[in-house]
Amino acid sequence: MYAFDYHRPATLKEALSLVAKQEDAKIVAGGHTLIPTMKQRLAAPGHLIDLGRIPDLVGIERTPRAVTIGAMTTHGAVAESADVKEAIPALSELAALIGDPAVRHRGTIGGSVANNDPSADYPAACLALGATIITSKRRIPAEEYFRGLFETALEDGEIVTGVSFPIPHKAAYEKFRNPASRYALVGVFVAKRPSDIRVAVTGAGSNGVFRWAEAEEALAKRFSAKSLDGLKAPADDLIGDLHADAEYRAHLIGVMARRAVQAATER
């Protein structure tokens, strides 16, 4: 790790002014991506702005139509939240599948969506549920927010403050873990929403999280795992690596999607 200045603002306003002032500043939330990268000397920000002591960024709020989670809420808190369990059990289960207990008690939803790792779990939930990413400047629909590998719609100096998830009729998340890292090798989030059905896939796409249109169409006709029989996810634009080539990932998308639909219908 190279030397850097550490800042711990008490308010969002203070954080924003620090970010605006320092050219080579990095925002740190739970630090589970940035800190290891810094330790390996692959990232070298001059200033680290820690959002960990801004109380306004933590918490879960439930209204009749949505669950809104503050950016600095940990995966563990989401997994344990009675409100999330009741309103969107699939989201609570997703949070419980992230990493291990140590990761879940440091890592945050804001950090996850700001980083947009192609193997992260939350982006699948955001896209399938039609979430809104709330920032210091605006509200961005998930559709427009995730832009590719580690790419988002965030502008310089813009900070994610929360994520709002509309409550679906039914939803489920199925994840096949990378055997080594335990990130999603393929994760499929299926949501039956009041207006439509969405199937979002993480871990597999060369450009990050994406929606599987053919599956959505098939499920729109009938929301049943059987509707996906024989349907193959396209293997182009999928990640191929040591653990899974594109063909295997394409196959797993189908398996995980069917299992997710099955789990959702059994709720």
Q: What are the strands of the beta sheet with 60-62, ordered from one edge?
A: 60-62, 66-70, 160-166, 132-135, 139-141
Select from 179, 195, 222, 266 the one that contacts another protein (CB under 8 A).
179
**What is the number of H-type helices and E-type strands within the chain?**
11, 14
- Smallest gap from Cβ 78 to another protein, in A, equals 22
Smaller CB separation from another protein, 2 or 6: 2
Smaller CB separation from another protein, 40 or 195: 40
Whether the Cβ atoms of residue 113 and residue 159 lie closer than 8 Å to each other? no
Whether the Cβ atoms of residue 127 and residue 189 lie closer than 8 Å to each other? yes
Bridge partners, residue 50, by sequence: 28
CA distance 50 to 6: 7
**Which structure tokens are listed for 3?**
């030397």
Binding of another protein at residue 96 (CB under 8 A)? no
Binding of another protein at residue 85 (CB under 8 A)? no
CA distance 87 to 191: 13
Select from 145, 165, 173, 176 the one that contacts another protein (CB under 8 A).
176
- Binders of another protein in range 207-246 (CB under 8 A): 242-245
Binding of another protein at residue 255 (CB under 8 A)? yes
Binding of another protein at residue 263 (CB under 8 A)? no
Smaller CB separation from another protein, 41 or 221: 41
CA distance 111 to 78: 14
Q: How many residues bind another protein (CB under 8 A)?
A: 17
Provide the binding-site residues for another protein, judged by CB under 8 A.
1-2, 40-41, 176, 179-181, 185, 242-245, 248, 251-252, 255
